[in-house]
A and B are shown apart, each in its own frame.
Chain A
């Protein structure tokens, strides 16, 4: 039995190689993904990636939030230590000294630019933090008085300042001129945040309540005992010692986000590859089982039971999996190294990252490499087991098997599901569920199309029948395709899935942005928009300043953060309550905007409904720092999916956020005011550094739209990976079918077909099949995307497809389909009339 399996594998080595490689690559990617994720976790666990280690004070104390759920999220904020707690801390016996730290945004600005922004933050710190780290001074002295700062070496170099120079610093209060007294040794090249160090007194005044306290014990006091004592005597704090001290301060969470994004990306890709591998192996084994019917029948005739025949096929899959498993170790190690290098080049690895391939990752790869072929061979093995002994004696060529009824039935059910999802998206348009349903519908539609591919092929061929009667090549293509719809479907499916997945990946973002833009434009009532440097924003005083500018009727800023009710986190804007009705066209469903004041909260009607909150109720929200917020519900509104669920007065949360600078300030004008003149006056009045920009409404909408169009390399990489594997799938199907078709090609040549005619036949089929795949894939994806656009806006079908990108995508898939046919074309060109004769012996 084992010998039979091995011989079977050896006989079909060539087509099997591709499957083995695909499975190995899929499992290898899984190994790489798990290895990199594991390495990233290790970096995080060892604290190597933490921006601040705070190794000088033996004990660091931070606040323990009441609800830790939100603080850990990317938009979370550290909880603050109340003044009473800091006092209590200083009073614990054995404490010699405490120093506190509360970071706040602080950007060194030159005449042309603001140093720091979206990707590299810049924070103001207390000099005490530099001592706690400890950082050493490369040049100069520590800040000694109000208006003096030390800055990191990278920023000093970028700004071109040295100790003794004056420079401007942008903080939430506006810009201020400061004296640089020292340069600290801190490298900002690796993506570390920039730092501006103030005297402890000035830092405390600007930063508010501290987020951490460094504790120095009295001489002779055991730090661990003291830590215990603090835990007992001071409530609501976490006491950190040893390596845990590096958890105390991580103002920018971009590193964590990027590392998890990398893991997600690798996981998605490896999942896709394994899915492709499963489809490929299943297709390959199905075809070989069909080709081996007589062999199996002969075995059955010789007394083999169905079980043995089944085990032959499963055994073959097992051998395939075993080879792939070994290869996956090599592939996984190589991929982990390559990927690490690639991600490093993209600048998305946390500092201190070292790729390491662990045993758990290898084990997972092995399991996947063995499991995928085994699962994929299940159906073919069952089919092989059903072979009747009488097949051995059948003289006629095995006719094309009828369509698998189960597949068609399943396809029908899935299609029904897609239609149902689309209906839900249509009916519930304007809700989050509708958008999810619409996007799911496009994927489910693709799945249905893949399952129904043979039926679709048949339908298309029936329609194309009249066309095919012209000329010998179309005629033969039509007949060959009709006789073997499975082969055609086998080539079409991967190409169709590629087209659909690529369409969704490429156009979902733009469609959502366009839908968002549509809603945003509908809602925005402002005439002018003031913004600062990207990722920096405007000082907290900007709105107040703008309101005082002549010609301005109302001005209000916003800052995004996060809160939570009893359920999932809620996107939240900090706003100036009195200006909402002027700046946004949002109708109050219940309550009135006039009632929205300092103690109030405005809520999305749907969210409020889920929480059971009504106008007039006093509700408790959880803030981004995990501390409760009490507010009276003033307004319930409906404003579209992209609008936050919660509006809170700025002063409620701003002191509890590290960075509460205004993202932008919206301005409405007095009747008759000249927009250009007001814009000029606003630019002069608002103290936001060189990045300040005042745009009118259309200009602002265009800017926001342009921001959404950034090229996303991860998307392109994923499209490339999917396309690559779809190509392999198509090639595989064709390579397997070539052997059977070679005889036909030779016969055609014998009857008088020229090489060109035979090759043309294959090329025509390739072109027709690829075009059909592109058309079907596009239709399935765009139907879902258009529905998602409608679901998003609730009133307008939005679909954003860049013609250039689509043309590129379509021609790439066509090229893929055509090049996948190189093997059959080569066979067609090689086919010699004599082969028919020699085939007969």
Chain B
């Protein structure tokens, strides 16, 4: 907590730095995290995964989170997305704290307000691409938004692939299907955890391009954990985590500067 207290003001500064795209809402901040603390007590020595993290994610922003292994970046993402409960602190989604929500309400929240893309196993093997994309709608009992679907399929380059099962798609295509599924219901935030981790650079590039477009063309908010400087460079800003706290940040990053920051971070 104490270690990064001095940097809090600068983060707030970034949070205030609005980048209004597409649809406007009253609150320019879609996700606000304050004093987030998480300690794992597995084993003899407790592991402090997060030590009082404060961070703000602006609407329509593309934020990358980087850091060495064990820095707490995945825990931050999980807590922000309501997949894990923090020990202390608040996670405000559209101004509402979700840390106290019941499992049922969290399920509803995830279904309506969030989208997810992970490194692998994003798709049900038994469903074809289109069925995977519309799965959330179906579970919620909603008719699939045909126009939105067509738009996403078009912008993600999935034409002609909709009837294929995941096993018949390449890794990159599978991830783009996952991105389409995560975006179909216009979530407040799309969380991506190492979405390019399993992909070659070309397929990875296509997935990053898809995420970038979601932000610039559809005004979506994207929070992405990655260890790849090239991937991070596609974001609007990069947060650097170390030992459960935010150590540094970088706006409008370029691969070289990201790499340089990472090296500096790891050498400290």
Binding site for B on A (CB under 8 A): 395-397, 399, 471-472, 475, 479-480, 482-484, 743-744, 747-755, 757, 832-834, 836-837, 839-841
Partner of A751, one of B83, B125, B181: B181
Residues of B within 8 A of A749 (CB): 107
Partner of B131, one of A479, A750, A755, A839: A479
Task: Check if A748 sits within 8 Å of B78, measured CB to CB.
Answer: no
Q: CB-nearest residue of chain B relative to A754?
A: B107
A541 to B138: give the CA distance in the assembly, Å: 85
B140 lies within 8 A of A744 (CB): no
Decide: A397 near B166, CB < 8 A? Known: A752-B139, A837-B118: yes
Min CB gap B198→A, angstroms:
8
Within 8 A of A (CB), among B201-223: none
Q: Is the CB of A840 within 8 A of B181?
A: no
Of A479, A480, A750, A755, the contact of B116 (CB 8 Å cutoff): A750
Which of these, B124, B167, B168, contacts A744 with CB under 8 Å? B124
Task: List chain B positions with a Cβ less than 8 A from chain A.
Answer: 74, 78, 83-84, 103-104, 107-108, 110-112, 116, 118-127, 131, 135-136, 138-141, 165-168, 171, 181, 193-194
Task: Give the docked Cα–Cα distance between A527 and B120 (Å).
Answer: 84
Besides A750-B83, A751-B135, 19 other CB < 8 A contacts? Answer: A396-B168, A399-B167, A472-B141, A479-B126, A479-B131, A482-B126, A483-B125, A744-B126, A747-B122, A747-B124, A750-B116, A752-B140, A755-B103, A832-B83, A836-B121, A837-B74, A840-B121, A840-B193, A840-B194
Total A-B residue pairs with C-beta atoms closer than 8 Å? Answer: 82
A752 to B111, CA, bound (A): 4
Contact at B139–A751, with CB atoms within 8 Å?
Answer: yes
Alpha-carbon gap, A743 to B120, bound state (A):
11
- A747 contacts which chain B residues (CB < 8 A)? 121-124
Q: Given the interface contacts A395-B171, A396-B167, A754-B107, does A834 sit within 8 Å of B78 by beta carbon?
A: yes
Complex CA distance for A221 and B235, rounded to whole angstroms: 121
Chain A residue nearest to B83 (CB atoms) is A834
Bound form: Cα–Cα A680–B122 in Å: 87
C-alpha spacing A482/B107, complex, angstroms: 27
Contact, CB under 8 Å: A752 / B107: yes
User: Can you identify 8 A-B contacts, CB atoms within 8 angstroms?
Assistant: A396-B166, A472-B141, A751-B116, A751-B181, A752-B107, A754-B104, A755-B107, A834-B83
A480 B126 Cβ-Cβ under 8 A: yes
- Name which residue of chain B comes closest to A394, CB basis: B167
A395–B171 Cα distance when bound, in Å, is 8
Report Cα–Cα, A145/B121, bound state, in Å: 99
The minimal Cβ–Cβ distance linking B192 to chain A, given in whole angstroms, is 11
B138 touches which one: A399, A472, A840 (CB < 8 A)?
A472
In the complex, what distance in Å separates the CA atom of A416 from the CA atom of B108? 54
Question: For residue B78, which residues in chain A have a CB less than 8 angstroms away from its CB?
Answer: 834, 837
| Most chain A beta carbons < 10 A, residue from B83, B122, B136 | B83
Q: Which residues of A contact B165 (CB under 8 A)?
A: 399
Contact B167 A397 (CB under 8 A): yes
Q: Determine the distance from Cα of A395 to Cα of B139 in the docked complex, in whole angstroms.
A: 29
User: Cβ of B181: which chain A residues have Cβ within 8 Å of it?
Assistant: 751
Most chain B CB inside 10 Å of its own CB: which residue of A743, A751, A752, A836:
A751
Q: Which residues of A contact B116 (CB under 8 A)?
A: 750-751
Complex: how many Å from CA A469 to CA B123?
19
Chain A nearest CB: distance from B156 CB in Å?
Answer: 18
Shortest distance from the beta carbon of B114 to any chain A beta carbon, whole Å: 9
**What residues of chain B lie closer than 8 Å to A754, measured between beta carbons?**
104, 107
Chain B's closest residue to A756 (CB) is B104
The answer for the CA separation of A484 and B165 in the assembled complex, in Å, is: 14
- In the bound complex, CA of A381 to CA of B174 (Å): 33
Residue B139 contacts which of A479, A484, A753 (CB distance < 8 angstroms)? A753
A833 to B103, CA, bound (A): 11
Residue of chain A at shortest CB distance from B110: A752
Assembly CA distance A484 to B135 (angstroms): 19
Instruction: Evaluate contact between A751 and B84: CB separation under 8 angstroms.
Output: no
Interchain CA distance A172-B103 in the complex, whole Å:
84
- On chain A, the residues within 8 Å of B136 by CB distance are 751-752
Q: Is the CB of B139 within 8 A of A757?
A: yes
Q: How far is the CA of A837 from the CA of B78 in the complex (A)?
A: 9
Question: Contact at A836–B118, with CB atoms within 8 Å?
Answer: yes
Tell which of B108, B119, B121, B127 has the most Cβ of chain A within 10 Å.
B121
Question: Does the CB pair B135–A834 fall under 8 Å?
Answer: no
Nearest CB of chain B from residue A458's CB, rounded to whole Å: 14
Please judge, given known A-B contacts A480-B126, A840-B119, whether A833 and B83 are in contact too, CB under 8 Å: yes
A227–B189 CA distance with the chains assembled, in angstroms? 107
> A399 to chain B: which residues have CB within 8 Å?
125, 165, 167
- List B contacts of A472 (CB < 8 A): 138-139, 141
Of chain A, the residue at the smallest CB distance from B77 is A837
**Of A479, A752, A834, A840, which is within 8 A of B127 by CB?**
A479
**Residue in chain B with minimal CB distance to A753:** B139
**B127 CB contacts on chain A under 8 angstroms:** 479
A483-B125, A751-B139 as given contacts; A837 in contact with B167, CB under 8 Å: no
Once bound together, how far apart are the Cα atoms of A344 and B140, in whole Å? 62
A753 CA / B111 CA spacing, docked (Å): 8
Cβ–Cβ contact B118 & A840, under 8 A: yes
Taking CB as reference atom, which chain B residue is nearest A747?
Answer: B124
Contact A751 B126, CB 8 Å, known A836-B118, A837-B83, A837-B118: no
Residues in chain B near residue A396, CB distance under 8 A: 166-168
Cβ contact within 8 Å between A475 and B138: yes
Inter-chain contacts of A833 with B (CB < 8 A): 83, 110
**How far, in whole Å, are A48 and B2 apart by their CA atoms in the complex?**
92
Contact of B84 among A743, A753, A757, A834 (CB under 8 A): A834
Chain B residue nearest to A758 in the complex (CB):
B139
A483 to B83, CA, bound (A): 29
In the bound assembly, the distance between CA atoms of A472 and B171 in angstroms comes to 27
Chain A residue numbers with a CB within 8 Å of B112 are 752
- Taking CB atoms, residues of chain B closer than 8 Å to A755 are 103, 107
Q: How far is the CA of A38 from the CA of B122 in the complex (A)?
A: 62
- The CA of A748 and the CA of B131, in the complex, are separated in Å by 13
User: By the criterion CB–CB under 8 Å, are A748 and B124 in contact?
Assistant: yes
For the complex, give the distance between the alpha carbons of A399 and B123 in Å.
14
B84 (CB) vs chain A CBs: closest residue: A834
A824 CB to nearest B CB, Å: 15
**Is there an interface contact between A840 and B120, defined as CB atoms closer than 8 Å?**
yes
- In whole angstroms, what is the CA distance A744 to B127 when docked? 11
Residues of A within 8 A of B110 (CB): 750, 752, 833
Contact A751 B111 (CB under 8 A): yes
Q: How far does the Cβ of B111 sit from chain A's closest Cβ, in whole Å? A: 3
Q: How far is the CB of A738 from chain B (nearest CB, A)?
A: 16
Q: Which partner residue on chain B sits nearest A473 by CB separation?
A: B139
Chain B residue at minimal CB-CB distance from A833: B83
Contact among A475, A484, A743 for B121, CB-based, below 8 A: A743
Smallest beta-carbon distance A332→chain B, Å: 44
Interchain nearest-CB distance for A360 vs B (Å):
52
B184 to chain A, nearest CB (A): 10
Residues on the B chain within 8 Å of A841, using CB: 119
Q: Please indicate the chain B residues that have their CB under 8 angstroms from the CB of A479 in the complex.
A: 124, 126-127, 131
User: What is the minimal beta-carbon distance from B74 to any residue of chain A, in angstroms?
Assistant: 8
Name the CB-closest residue of B to A478: B126
Residues of A within 8 A of B139 (CB): 472, 748, 751-753, 757
Q: Which residues of A contact B141 (CB under 8 A)?
A: 471-472
Give the distance in Å from the alpha carbon of A839 to the alpha carbon of B198 in the complex.
Answer: 14
Q: Which chain A residues border B131 with CB–CB below 8 Å? A: 479
How far, in angstroms, from A744 to B123 measured CA to CA in the complex? 8
Which chain B residues lie closer than 8 Å to A757 at the CB level?
A: 139
Assembly CA distance A475 to B141 (angstroms) = 12
Chain B residues near A744 (CB-CB < 8 A): 124-126
Chain A residues with Cβ below 8 Å from B119 are: 840-841
Task: Report the bound CA distance from A702 to B78 in whole Å.
Answer: 75
Q: Which residues of B contact A750 (CB under 8 A)?
A: 83, 110, 116
Q: Name the residue of chain A whose CB is nearest to the CB of B115.
A: A751
**Cα distance, A395 to B168, chains bound together (Å):** 11
Nearest CB to that of B111 among chain A residues?
A752
Residue numbers in A under 8 Å from B120 (CB-CB) = 840
